[in-house]
Chain A
């Protein structure tokens, strides 16, 4: 391990470069593959000692929390190196190469990288084409993961929704019948006594809106029937009610 320390220490000035470079690797397998490619090593016959040293040199400048996965791989490499150093009996055919599992994973990972290259090409081709209603890729649609609620929580939620639903802001419109016939009776009775009256004379004290409307409709109805005449001298003035002379004659 001494030479590893030496390599790392000697490159102190370049340590920044190492960190930046490592960020470009998507994981320890990526770094390992790149080492194997750079050294033009046969993946089925990896010189573990050399690769392990280079691997350690590359990660030695990383901060520990960032490098956990790289350190795990480093430990694995060192263990394989140790296993390879154990003496083997001559003529032993059934020897499990301690590198086999690592090779399997590297091959698998290489397939992943190849598919990634393919996906990158596809993605690049698609990115160059725009659909008519172009929309920038909607960032982070709210994640709707599966609900994890206890039964009481769920019931409380349902209760909340129901309580909200029970007080809606809806204005009820209550149909209030107008008493046009009653108002007609009142006006006729008044006109039987007086030939002339003011709008305010027939209006009850503190009238409700429905009473005003009933009276208005009654007056219009009676005017239509020819029993009285309505006269308003100017806009917004109170109007005068006059018994119709014709109906009087009749």
Chain B
């Protein structure tokens, strides 16, 4: 491993949460002569874990990097009570998150319109878990709160960024036969870019 790769390994080991590229780059600038790029050092670290057969691996998450254990050891670690899997989200919570992820910024009324049920309690719980946040106020009566996803959302689903979610043409809906032209209703917006943050 290169010197910078070793430093990155130490830094990522020390941090429990993903470390952003900007943070790693700032650290690398202070610590090395600057000849080695961050990207090549990260590649070097990843190769190190891949080729030598390690119990951990380098994972890119939420715009940063993190060292995580390999999935094949989950059960053994849990049996030893060294760590345990976090709780699953309910179907209702996942539906709400899916809608927010694709339609953000989106208000509560629109979420309820799509799901056909009230969303207040679920929004509150998602907000408390830090998975969604109020990102704007809408137009119209009462200037409704508009919600968007947070970096914690990306972390929870191990997404690098929102664009990693499937695009419109990647959703394999069995009943999507383009029959009547009037039926253009689509979760994904017309341009096919799922997570348009700004309209």
User: Which residues from chain A contact B91 at a C-beta distance below 8 Å?
Assistant: 26, 30, 116
Contact partner of A123 (CB less than 8 A), chosen from B89, B173, B184, is B89
Majority secondary structure of chain B interface residues (helix, strand, loop or mixed): loop
A136 proximal to B (CB < 8 A): yes
| B16 nearest CB across to chain A (Å) | 3
Give B154 Cβ to nearest chain A Cβ, in Å. 10
A interface, size bucket? 35 or more
Stretch of A14-22, A137-145, A185-193 contacting B (4+ beta carbons < 8 Å): A137-145
Residues of B with C-beta under 8 A to A146: 134, 145
Q: Cβ of B86: which chain A residues have Cβ within 8 Å of it?
A: 127, 136-137
CA distance A15 to B180 in the complex (A): 39
Count residues of chain B with CB under 8 A from any CB of chain A: 65
- CB <8 Å contact, B115 and A29: yes
Q: Do most interface residues of chain A lie in helix, strand or loop, or is the interface mixed?
A: helix
B15: chain A residues at CB < 8 Å are: 132-133
Instruction: Enumerate chain B residues within 8 angstroms of A104, measured Cβ to Cβ.
Output: 183-185
Q: Does A86 contact B (CB under 8 A)?
A: no
A129 touches B70 (CB 8 A): yes
Bound complex: CA of A120 vs CA of B98, how far in Å? 10
Contact with B along A108-148 (1 / 0, CB 8 A): 11111111101110110111111111111100110101100
CA distance A164 to B90 in the complex (A): 44
> CB-defined interface of A163-176 with B at 8 Å, one 1/0 digit per residue?
00000000000000
Q: Within B143-189, which residues are at the interface with A (CB < 8 Å)?
A: 145, 155-159, 165-166, 171-173, 175-177, 179-180, 182-188
Q: Is A105 among interface residues, defined by CB-CB distance under 8 A? A: yes
Rounded to whole angstroms, the CA-CA distance of A61 and B184 in the bound complex is: 35
Is B69 an interface residue, CB under 8 A from the partner? yes
Measured CB to CB, the closest approach of chain B to A52, in angstroms, equals 16
A-side residues, CB < 8 A to B, are 26-30, 42-44, 69, 73, 97, 100, 103-105, 107-116, 118-120, 122-123, 125-137, 140-141, 143, 145-146
Binding site for A on B (CB under 8 A): 13, 15-17, 59, 66-71, 74, 77, 82-92, 94-95, 97-99, 101-102, 114-118, 124, 127-130, 134, 145, 155-159, 165-166, 171-173, 175-177, 179-180, 182-188
